[in-house]
Amino acid sequence: MKRVTGLAALAVLWVGFAPANAGAQTDDPFYSVRTLTLVVGTEAGGGYDAYGRLFARYFARHFPGDASVVVQNMPGASGRRAAEFLYSSAPQDGTVMGTLEQNIPLTQVLGRENVRFDIARFNYLGNMSATVSTAIAWHTTGVKTIDDAKTKEVIVGATGTSGTTELFARLMNRTLGTKFRVVMGYPGGNDINLAMERGEVGGRASYSWASLKNASSDWLTAKRVHILVQIGLHKAPDLPDVPLLLDLVKPGEDREVVRLFSASLELGRVFLAPPNVPAERVAVLRQTFDASVHDPLFRAEAERMALDVNPTSGAEVQRVIALLVAEPPEIIEKAKAFIR
């Protein structure tokens, strides 16, 4: 009988969930006297920051008591700095939450860095949206399709060895035969974007479609970039003619490796709390997350900002993380070999 891996089942786990009936309720006076902090693991002005600040405003409205939410940007090490802070240094009492880069689960699963956290021990509040990433080329490169990138070198900017800007470039080089040449060391995605405009690099191997539409919509309007491929377990509905990386790879172990990388995008906008927050407070945070992302005003503002919202519950995210860390060792080892 054919074995169904965790990630094979993952494709159906991102579907929406029922909203909470009302805002979270608690008798604990702790929540009426504290200011909450939301740690965003990227620089200000990018896609994660946009989602985080929108989330903070509505979370404060639905939180029990007279609460406020302060956003603290903590970029560094492709998201590891914020993850390590939340895991080990942040107060573990429910007053601090975070949203991390989508590469963080892969960083641990692939063992590329000496991580000082365990993704399975975080308390996940929910996922605001599964994401689709795109590989893009600047219009002056002459590269308009993924096939063009197989015959012509494209210099792509990357933040570091743990980020998807580097991982996805190496993955496509190995599975499709593209000629992406990675230049690392950019502090964040905004810096890579500026480098493209200055002609330092010719593209990005990973740029969230939601962020591209939100932060760089002028590029699309002026046709300054070509979208070569989309990466994820599902195509974006508004990119019907752009191929999905998973569909371009033949069945077999290579395709399972691509599925592993693509699966991290199902957790594109995850919000979480540190590991040792008391269970009753985690429950309140989860209920408040649910109420916030189903608020009609929240949905309307997200639409105006071109931010995709397709939420899943904290319990569902916890299940997805468990599936990721339980992937078969042979697939993990092949994935490691692909990106060496």
Residue 62, CA atoms < 13 Å, CB-side half-sphere: 26
Domain that holds residue 192: 133-264
The helix-helix angle for 279-293 and 296-304 (nearest 10°) equals: 60
Do 140 and 231 have their domain in common? yes
Residues 175 and 139 in one domain: yes
Average pLDDT, consecutive stretches of 10 residues, N- to C-terminus, the chain (340 residues): 47 44 53 83 88 95 87 88 95 94 82 82 93 94 97 93 83 94 90 95 93 89 97 90 95 86 84 96 95 97 89 89 85 82
Domain C-terminal end among 232, 264, 296: 264
Q: Are strands 154-157 and 133-138 parallel, antiparallel or unpaired?
A: unpaired
Query: Which of 201, 235, 264 corresponds to the end of one domain?
Result: 264
Residue 80 CB contacts under 8 Å (≥ 6 apart), including other chains: 104, 107, 113, 115, 162
Radius of gyration for the alpha carbons in the chain, expressed in angstroms and rounded: 19
Asked if residue 253 belongs to a domain, the reply is yes
Residue 324 maps to a domain = yes
Nearest by Cα to 65 from 86, 95, 90: 95
Report the CATH number at residue 91. 3.40.190.150
Residues 173 and 258 in one domain: yes
Among the candidates 264, 292, 322, a domain finishes at 264
- 157-189 residue pLDDT tens: 998 766 788 889 999 999 999 999 999 989 888
The Cα–Cα gap between 150 and 84 comes to: 38
Domains contained in the chain, number: 2
Answer whether 117's CB lies under 8 Å from 83's CB.
yes
Q: Is residue 208 part of a domain?
A: yes
Distance in angstroms (rounded) separating the CA atoms of residues 269 and 276 = 22
CA dist., res. 50 & res. 215, Å (int): 9
**Residue 148 and residue 239 in one domain:** yes
pLDDT of residue 34: 75
Please report the pLDDT score of residue 128 as a whole number. 93
DSSP state of 88: I
Q: Let me know whether 137 and 260 are in one domain.
A: yes
Residues paired with residue 156 on neighbouring β-strands, in sequence order:
182, 203
Global pTM value: 0.71
Would you say residue 1 lies in a domain?
no
Residues 126 and 170 both lie in one domain = no
Beta 35-40 vs 96-99: how paired, if at all?
parallel
